[in-house]
Amino acid sequence: MQKNIIAGLKISISVGLAGVLLYFVFRNVEWKEFWERAKTVDYSWVIASIILSIVAYVARAYRWNILLKPLGYDLKTSRTTLAVLIGYLANLALPRLGEITRCGVLKRNDNVAIPSALGSVVTERIIDVLTLFLLILLSLIIESDRLFTFLETAYQDLNIPTYVVIAIIAVSILGVVGLVLFLRRQNRLTGKFAGLIKSFVAGFLSLKDIKQPVGFVISTVILWSVYYLMSYIIVFSLPETSHLGLGAGFMLLITGGIALSIPVQSGFGTYHGMIAGMLLLYSIDETTGIFLATLLHTSQLIAIALFGSVALIISFIIRRKSAIKTTK
């Protein structure tokens, strides 16, 4: 009962925060002008972006397979793709729920231990954060002037007390020290809980034991290249943004990546506000910026809802067939 209440509160807070952010983003929008934009959209680019997303899902699933193999799980990419898609679908309900959900799907369909799978997912997310960081550095070279202007505009009124900075650094150092000590002494742990912890750590450290490092790198490059294309090609769907160059595509990618990493319900509000704010640097007016952000965000939600639902149905069929075989 208590768990249900806590889960309900998390969802309520996340949805409520998303609603507040959306209100502040859209409060000054001229709705007549906003809907006029919809009549000028070339939706073929939007459809192309949605179709292209399939490549990203498969690339992520293939990369996850590489991390799972050192743990003793040699799965087909089709199986992990189902889990990835269902995980994305779960994220629509609650931020970060998808990571646990996709591990649960693999547990039910392929008997993959959840702690091990979750540890590998954490490793995967760390790789994504590092990749995003590298892309930000690349953007410093490609669009340095605009990026610095964006950061100054976004954070010029942010005044963080010194003690908060010191506290963050101290907690980070203690966290690293604690992790190192734990890894050195984990073999001394006993009991069921210790077994779960060890499985999680094994999954987390699976990167050092992968047998296909080249495949891991290539799948990561493909994944983020597709993310880039998914965002960039949609700028051609609007006459007002069709002139934006490749550098703007990088800015869309990193800004969207940062916005979606914030734990707000499916990026509602944060994504729209940050993308629209970034586009002001390219002299794209606020209404057009918010409309393009809405187009980008909605296309991603449609892709997740469409492919995730199909994956959920297929997963149910697989489980049903497995149950029938077991009873025979």
Domain for residue 32, yes or no?
no
* The predicted structure's pLDDT at residue 313: 92
pLDDT at position 71 is 81
Exposure string for 77-100, b = 16+ CB within 10 A, e = fewer: bebbbbbbbbbbbbbeebbebbbb
- pLDDT score of 141: 77
Confirm whether 34 is domain-assigned: no
In a domain, 4, yes or no: no
Q: Note whether residue 328 is domain-resident.
A: no
Overall number of domains in the chain: 1
pLDDT value of residue 160: 47
Identity at 134, one-letter amino acid code: L
In a domain, 130, yes or no: yes
Say how far apart CA 302 and CA 156 lie, in whole Å: 35
Question: Which is nearest to 227 in space by CA: 60, 61, 78, 88?
Answer: 60
The span from the CA of 42 to the CA of 234, in Å, is: 9
Does a structural domain hold residue 22?
Answer: no
Q: By C-alpha distance, which of 141, 324, 152 is closest to 247? A: 141
Cα separation, 29 vs 31, in Å, equals: 6
- Residue appearing with tokens 């189902």: 82
Q: What's the token pair of residue 148?
A: 């610095």
Domain range for 232 is 40-322
- Within a domain: 28: no
Q: What is the pLDDT of residue 83?
A: 93
- The whole-number pLDDT of residue 204 equals 57
Alpha helices in the chain (DSSP H): 2-26, 31-39, 43-68, 77-91, 97-110, 114-142, 144-155, 162-185, 192-204, 213-232, 246-261, 270-279, 286-327
Tokens of 256: 């969207």
Q: What is the pLDDT of residue 198?
A: 58
**In angstroms, rounded to a whole number, what is the distance separating the alpha carbons of residues 328 and 317?**
17
Phi-psi map region of 111: left, alpha, beta (phi>0 left; psi -120 to 50 alpha): left
Classify 73 as helix, strand or coil: coil
Model-level pTM?
Answer: 0.78
pLDDT of 157: 47
Q: Is residue 262 part of a domain?
A: yes
User: pLDDT truncated to tens, each residue of the chain (328 aa)?
Assistant: 555 555 555 556 666 666 676 666 677 777 777 788 888 899 999 999 999 999 999 999 999 999 888 888 888 999 999 999 999 998 887 777 788 899 999 988 888 888 888 888 888 888 888 888 888 888 777 777 766 666 566 555 444 455 555 665 666 677 666 666 655 665 555 555 455 555 555 555 666 777 888 999 999 999 999 999 999 999 999 999 999 988 888 889 988 888 887 777 777 788 888 898 888 888 888 888 889 999 999 999 999 999 999 999 998 888 777 666 655 5
